[in-house]
Structure 1
Amino acid sequence: MTASREYFLDLYDRQLRTDAETPSAVQVQRLGPLRLVTFAHGRGFITYPRITEHNPLLADLAEEALDYFIKQPQITQVEFKTRGHDYAPGLDQKLRELGFTAEEPESIMIGDMGSLYSSQPAPTGVQLGKIGAESEVEAMCRMIDQAFGEPYDPSTAQALIARLAKKDGMELWVASVDGQMVGAGRLEPVGGTEFAGLWGGGVLPEYRGRGIYRALTDARARSAAGSGFRFVHSDSTEYSRPILEARGLVKVSETTPYLWERD
């Protein structure tokens, strides 16, 4: 019997919010229900547990939360992560007034890890494997930014290199053709939970439609299951959502990141 959306949403709210989202945090400050998280390389992050009408309104706390990061000159970017199933009247308007910009909404996908297994082999000529060297991580990040049509951001590679040094279970998987990286994705086990996350999956446009994303998903899922993780979660774009739904994952809600950048 396939688990219901409500079952998976409850798992998400209980196991995958607040501290579970920020394993590499440098510092965490509380502000009511909000967690104000400082990451390395000038990144701030705001998250919170499930909010109902019985909790303080998030919009009332947003300005004070941003002020906390503005007072830290090393912080150049802040993300306020919102979820569609939370009680947050007025939050969108308040964040925009404060200078945040809403990114594209992403689907929160949850499912059984085994549902991502594929019965098909990797596409002919495609090699899959984990990477860890600094030069490989940098090359992977350049390729992923190219895949999504974004400028290369060296801070992303620096953050991943620092994370690998912690040996907390994160894995970086790449797909290569004739020695060239053409696709990649992260596997991030969530300590103390039954979940591992699939993040950052992308394939160069000219290599899409060949089963490379499927093969990368299969490899990461089997690696996670081998370490005892039962469930998978991912915040998915509209490109990857249908692929994950076809494999049995369920869309339980949406998340919209709001970004603020220092002038």
Structure 2
Amino acid sequence: MDPVAALSAFDRQLRRELPPGDPETTVEREPRLIRHVSTAAHSWQGVVWTDLDAATADAAIAAELPRFTGDYEWKHFSHDRPADLPDRLAAAGLVADVLEAVVVAEAAGVPDFAPPAGVEIVEATTPEGIEKATDLHQRVFGKDMSKLRAQLLAAAPGTLDVVLAVAGDEVVSAARTDYYPGTDFAGLWGGGTLPEWRGKGIYKAVVSRRARLAQARGVKYLQVDALPTSEPILRRAGFVRITTTRPFTARPR
């Protein structure tokens, strides 16, 4: 995979040209900034792309500040300009969240990893399956997942895969794939595994199952915003870091 070509496609398709994710979301395009805004409580909102420089950055940030209520965020990427944009966002009172690596792989290049003995990977896009996935995420991450649950239940047909890792009657891991029609990309999100089941190869098996599902749909690239705990595993599965990202919000999360 050519990382430079992948980053160029990522910026164009998933930032500058990405259509709204649901009927409640609107894309607002300005000459140097693109944002997504929504009337639905479960929809993501924020700045997705900028083309700023030292002369225009502070005015753009100041104009955007009134929007920073609720979960609105400025999604900054390390290759965005100017180079000191994170410092300018912080100086304006915004709070930096966790830094994540944006890693990409070609779906066809992700190997097949079998789950450990006694664990089965199953597809679960029904409302019951979504409930099981978000319940698992609530256990793993210790956060209220009601907004995510509403978002997944409202997803348009064909834009979502949910997979579960099941041991006996217990869901031990869950993750999803978001599809972006009209692009070369699918996003892998929400990989969470119960602590006592980590280190057994379940996460890799969940990644490869999602890769096969995406490949069957004709997807070229898989993209993940990876935490430090996930990036080494994804690198061993063929993913390459193309940039990093960090959201800025009005208050700590």
Judge same fold: TM > 0.5, yes or no.
yes
Please give the alpha-carbon distance, in whole angstroms, between the structure 2 residues aligned to 1:46 and 1:254.
16
1:129 has 2:122 as partner = yes
1:140 has 2:130 as partner = no
Provide the residue aligned with 1:258 in structure 2. 248
Provide the residue aligned with 2:28 in structure 1. 29
Q: 1:135 offset after TM fit, Å?
A: 4.0
Provide the residue aligned with 2:16 in structure 1. 18
Aligned pair in 2 of structure 1 residues 27, 121: CA closer, same or farther (>3 Å)?
Answer: same
Q: 1:47 offset after TM fit, Å?
A: 1.2
**Count of aligned pairs between the two proteins:** 249
Contact 1:59 1:89 (8 Å CA) reproduced: no
Please give the alpha-carbon distance, in whole angstroms, between the structure 1 residues aligned to 2:209 and 2:199.
18
Q: Which runs of 5+ in 2 are unaligned?
A: none
Q: Which amino acid in structure 1 is aligned with residue 46 of structure 2? A: F
Contact 1:18 1:47 (8 Å CA) reproduced: yes
Please give the alpha-carbon distance, in whole angstroms, between the structure 2 residues aligned to 1:155 and 1:169.
18
Please give the alpha-carbon distance, in whole angstroms, between the structure 1 residues aligned to 2:103 and 2:235.
8
Provide the residue aligned with 2:145 in structure 1. 153
2:162 to 160, 163, 172: 172
Please give the alpha-carbon distance, in whole angstroms, between the structure 1 residues aligned to 2:152 and 2:204.
23
Consecutive aligned runs of 4 or more in structure 1 exceeding 4 Å deviation? none
Please give the alpha-carbon distance, in whole angstroms, between the structure 2 residues aligned to 1:194 and 1:227.
10
Aligned pair in 2 of structure 1 residues 30, 56: CA closer, same or farther (>3 Å)?
Answer: farther
For residues 29-60 of structure 1, give each alpha carbon's deviation from its aligned partner in whole angstroms, at most 9, with x where no partner exists: 234322221232165211115x375x963332
Contact 1:138 1:154 (8 Å CA) reproduced: no
For residues 50-76 of structure 1, give each alpha carbon's deviation from its aligned partner in whole angstroms, at most 9, with x where no partner exists: x375x9633321221232x26xxxx52
Contact 2:75 2:245 (8 Å CA) reproduced: yes
Q: Calculate the TM-score normalised by the size of structure 1.
A: 0.85
Provide the residue aligned with 1:5 in structure 2. 3
Identity of aligned residues (%): 26
SS in 1 for 2:162: strand
Q: Which runs of 5+ in 1 are unaligned?
A: none
Q: 1:90 offset after TM fit, Å?
A: 4.1
For residues 63-106 of structure 1, give each alpha carbon's deviation from its aligned partner in whole angstroms, at most 9, with x where no partner exists: 21232x26xxxx52211101101113443233224442211111
1:102 has 2:96 as partner = yes
Q: Calculate the TM-score normalised by the size of structure 2.
A: 0.88
Q: 1:117 offset after TM fit, Å?
A: 2.4
Please give the alpha-carbon distance, in whole angstroms, between the structure 1 residues aligned to 2:207 and 2:230.
11
For residues 197-236 of structure 1, give each alpha carbon's deviation from its aligned partner in whole angstroms, at most 9, with x where no partner exists: 2111121111101111011111100011011112211111
> What is the root-mean-square deviation in Å for CA atoms of aligned residues?
2.4
